[in-house]
Amino acid sequence: MCIQWNYFYIAEGCGRRSSARFDNCPSFGRGCSGAGGNHGDIPVEDICADCKNRALDPNPNPNPDPYQASKDKAKRNKPKGRKY
């Protein structure tokens, strides 16, 4: 049976998993269709690349979405009239 191995980042509460390697069994492609639910974890005493990049983000509070502002303005400017 095939097994997929994942890196499991356990430092600072990250808890994410990423694909490390895939071990094929001898019958892969000839009756075996892959790992299915068989996954193994390789613990890593570090945080993932996404968490590292998030900590280095120069603008952690991005500007508000300009499209959302135009939608809100359209709702406020909706003509008030009789409802048919």
Which one has a higher pLDDT value, 68 or 45? 45
Question: What is the domain partition of the chain in residue ranges?
Answer: 3-58
Note the pTM of the prediction, 2 decimals: 0.53
Tell the burial category of 9 from Cβ atoms under 10 Å away from its Cβ (0-12, 13-18, 19+).
buried
- What phi and psi, each to the nearest 5 degrees, are found at residue 42? -115, 110
pLDDT, tens digit (0-9, with 9 covering 90-100), for 29-67: 888 888 787 788 898 888 888 888 887 877 767 666 666
Pairing state between β 3-9 and 39-44: parallel
Structure token digits, residue 68: 């959302």
